Amino acid sequence: MVELSNGAVAITGRPILRGIDLTVRSGEFVALMGANGSGKSTLVRALTGLRPLASGSLSLFGTPLADFHDWRRIGFVPQRGGAGSGVPASVWEVVASGRLTHRRLMRPLGRRDRAAISEALEVVGLAHRAREGVSTLSGGQQQRVLIARALAGEPELFFLDEPTAGVDLPNQQVLADSLETLSERGSTIVLVAHELGPMAPLIDRAVVMRDGRVAYDGPPLTSHEVYETDHGHHHAVHVRHDHAPHVSSPLDSREGMAHE
């Protein structure tokens, strides 16, 4: 579903990601973990084509990025920064917006669109709040609205960036149940999470980022092990591939920089 080889990202000339090799297979549930600032969100943006690669190659569904146009196969829930705050949209409207990629321009929503929207609201347990303003919901409920928005597009490949950050445990459990449903239906899921919480049993594989690189890629880890991996003391760390340039390169300039 995703194949990134030797990927690098620079933002305004500053190297953020280096030598990233990442393959996500169909039906996998991958947790992308690591400390704040390690590059998880940047990697997800690169994998969804939102952030250009400075080098390396990316294929989605077996198609090189430059030739890939089937964006409706991909759902993306960005990291939340006051989602819905000050936006006078109803829950239903926000979820309906996730259906836009399926619509012909300027055509009204069809029966199938409405069914997908209702279904997405059911999955996240918010069907009864559909007509309410998003801003009247709690943070955790707003997060569920954003997940329903992505679900409404019926994606095969689903990226979620820290959907549980700042979300209370009951809402995390609802999220976990929603993702389990999706996963059982065969969706491929890449979940960015600092702590897995109720998601832990769903994970097939963990990828841990450290300082813009993949520090671990393998079976799920406990959060204690991830913490150790973050600090570079974990002996069981498998760095599967490391294509970091060995010659002097702009990408090396961040070497040895302190964590934020």
Which residues would be at the binding site for Mg ion (CB under 5 A)? 40-41, 79
For Mg ion, which residue has the nearest CB?
Answer: 41
- Least distance (Å) from ligand ADP to the CB of residue 64? 24
171 binds, among ligand ADP, Mg ion, none (CB under 5 to 8 A by kind): none
Q: Which is nearer to Mg ion, 40 or 51 (CB)?
A: 40
Segment lying near ligand ADP (by CB under 6 A), choices 29-37, 56-64, 65-73, 168-176: 29-37
Q: Which is nearer to ligand ADP, 141 or 229 (CB)?
A: 229
- Residue ranges in 208-237 that form contacts with ligand ADP under rule CB under 6 A: none
- Least distance (Å) from Mg ion to the CB of residue 22? 16
Q: For ligand ADP, how many residues bind (rule: CB under 6 A)? A: 11
142: contact with ligand ADP by CB under 6 A: no
36: contact with ligand ADP by CB under 6 A: yes
HEC readout, the chain: CEEEEEEEEEECCEEEEEEEEEEECCCCEEEEEECCCCCHHHHHHHHCCCCCCCEEEEEECCEEHHHCCCHHHEEEECCCCCCCCCCCCEHHHHHHHCCHHHCCCCCCCCHHHHHHHHHHHHHCCCHHHCCCEHHHCCHHHHHHHHHHHHHHCCCCEEEEECCCCCCCHHHHHHHHHHHHHHHHCCCEEEEECCCCHHHHHHCCEEEEEECCEEEEEECCCCHHHHHHHHCCCCCCCCCCCCCCCCCCCHHHHHCCCCCC
Contact residue for ligand ADP among 7, 15, 19, 34 (CB under 6 A): 34
37: contact with ligand ADP by CB under 6 A: yes
Residues forming contacts to ligand ADP in the complex (CB under 6 A) are 11, 16, 34, 36-42, 260
